[in-house]
Structure 1
Amino acid sequence: MEDIQRDHLVFTVSELSRLIKATLEDNFYNIRVKGEISGLKTNYSSGYYFDIKDEFAKLKCIIFKSDLRKIKCDLKEGMSVAVYGRLNLYEPKGEYSFIVSEIEPLGHGELYAMFELLKEKLKKEGLFDESRKRSIPFLPETIGIVTSRSGAVLHDMVKIISERFENASIIFANASVQGQNSAIEIANAIDLLNKYNERERKIDVIIVGRGGGSIEDLWSFNEEITARAIYNSKIPVISAVGHETDFTIADFVADRRASTPSNAAEMVVPVKSELVRQVESLNTRLHSAVYKIISNKKNSISHLIQNIEKVSPQRIIENKKIRINDLVENMHELIAGKINLLNINISHLRKRLFLKNPLNIIKERRLHVNGLSEKLEKYALVKISNYRGRINAEQKALNSLSPYNVLKRGYSITFNEKNIVVSSVSQVKENENLILLLSDGRLKTKIISAEKS
């Protein structure tokens, strides 16, 4: 009879949930569970949220804000821990979770160990070397994107790139970004874009990425095949995996790391409208600079025209004469100063000799003084001779520049009746009177005929 009643007993969802909640919370109140941390999310205003897992199962865990002060260790993705607390059933969703009151670190988990092992291996091989990393083009024409077509990441990146610089072209290579064979698909997609770059159309940069998730969700980007595909890419690669706090092997190998896929889209192209404003500003500055240069040059030409008389041959000769006179005066002053200085030195030496008075010292000093006198005379004679040579050279240079010496060599200067210099046959007419200026006088002559050579 009891079995028949149970067969006909019907629970409401709320009743069954309350029964399960009471059973779980009464029997699993103060227990200890060990596993690896996965999907860690920290929110200091409300608490920590993460899963602990082993090879076969996963348990959702919560540390409320009031219990954070009891946690004495820094929690990290892949960390192996033992958690103390109780089970809790959230009836509206029918989900149970483990409310953590204390945590004991047990070491690093298997995935973390695999991550560190591969990281160290690739680092020794030089895949992380900064010297091999390439710069990202400032304004790429074509951008390759490797991600899943089903995720929101692709839509977000395409939208941001199009809004910032609509002229940029996007080549998309689809790949699963989590799950079995996803790392192979990512590597194949990178290779596919490189082949497209060689055979079809140049690709300037590749973005490889996905949204955030647990360490298991992001594991495709910690696989060796993904790292080597990025390393072997002939095109610069930006890694954009997860959130800012997520680091993968792909981030270390890539030429540039972006904190998120959206950040990668912002990083890869500038804002076109800002570039246009900068170009317009530079164009305005360029026009102003050119106008200023032309204005300055015009002023310089005007100044030269106004001061052309200052560079006439006669003025040059006068300036050279003044310069020669200055040199002669300086030479005399220099020699007089040297002689005066030597006389003073001789006087000092004589005083010292007089005070010391040993005969041998006096004789030696006299010989020294005589030698100095001879050197002084020779030095003065050499200096005078050098200055005379320079004066003669300057005079010869001046004479060679004089227009009168040119006339002495058989040349003449032709003037018309208006006293204007004639330099071309097109300036004269037949029967026109001309004046020829020679070195010792003038000749008046008349044009019989004018012919161009």
Structure 2
Amino acid sequence: MQQPLPVLSVSRLTALLKETVEDNFVRVLVEGEISNFSRPASGHYYFSLKDARAQMRGVMFRAQNRLLPFIPEDGMQVVCAGRISLYEPRGELQLVVEAMEPKGVGGLQLAFEQLKARLAEEGLFDAARKRPLPTFPRCVGVVTSASGAAIHDILNVLRRRGAGVRLVLRPALVQGASAAADIAAAIDEFNRHGEADVLIVGRGGGSLEDLWAFNEEIVARAVAGSGIPVISAVGHETDVTIADFAADLRAPTPSAAAEMVAKSRLELEGHLDHLCLRLAAQMRARMAFLNERVQGLERRLRSPAQQLKQWRDHEQLLEKRLQRAFDLALRQRRERLAAAAARLDALSPLAVLARGYAIVFRDRDGSAVRRAAQVQIGDEVSIRLAQGRLRAKLTEVEE
């Protein structure tokens, strides 16, 4: 006889299923595509994991997802490690994910690309915000490990090339969970003290995991926000980090960074010699030009004594010219007077008298006698001669 089935409540059934599922699927690896991804304020990740024929709800709690180097996205193909559980309030199976890895690309590389794209969209890598390095810095700040190869390489270069350059090291962790925060704090300290003219931030080579601190967002923002120009010098020439994009300049190695900030002594001396030669040539040309101007001014400039002498000479010249003009005018007037006197003399009655003629005047009225009819016998007349005068009384008149 068949035993009757026990009547189970829904909660009892889901509890039994939960126990069965969790006991048999303690550790599973599931591959699928993420969809319906959400990240609420609680910090947990909720999503669906699907393939062409089925899907399952998934959850990754904050304690686990904070260790992920990337942020999951819809459409991403992933491999999830975790356990199967049943969510009793809804009676739904779900995958509780404890680890996640992108399929086809490493998690660190994906995190690198995601952060790079996000910061680039913010304009953190724009060339316009990058500052030039000081030509001859007096103090170089270095953020790196005190015991690593990077600081020794930098010191060797500065001793050889950077005469007079002072170096200030702020030891920092360059690897591990606390490294990013320590690097960012070191950059902030240099900016608060304002002692360094330029910063070198970096370390020697290593794997992607070893260099990961320089791919953290906190370091990228500290580098981009630094008031002091920053050179990123992480790893080897082929290593590229987020800090390289955020920095004002990327150096392939720490040694190369030191060479950038410390000009060679010989190069500097040669540059100074060249400047001295150019300055001397310009000074000579300038002096020659000024000397020509002075000589021209000297030729144009006269002393007061010379000016007075010139005025006196000019006065004497004018006086001579005036005297000559006066003499000429006087002579011309004398000649004209003489000519006029000669003409007058030629017309003068005295000249006629001088030739033996005489003029007769009547005494009674002093008029000249031109005709005999003007006088009568007995009239008294005066006879004017060339020299002297005669008085006579007429005794006879003939017309």
Instruction: Provide TM-score, normalisation by structure 1.
Output: 0.44
Which protein is richer in helix relative to its size? 1
Instruction: Provide TM-score, normalisation by structure 2.
Output: 0.49
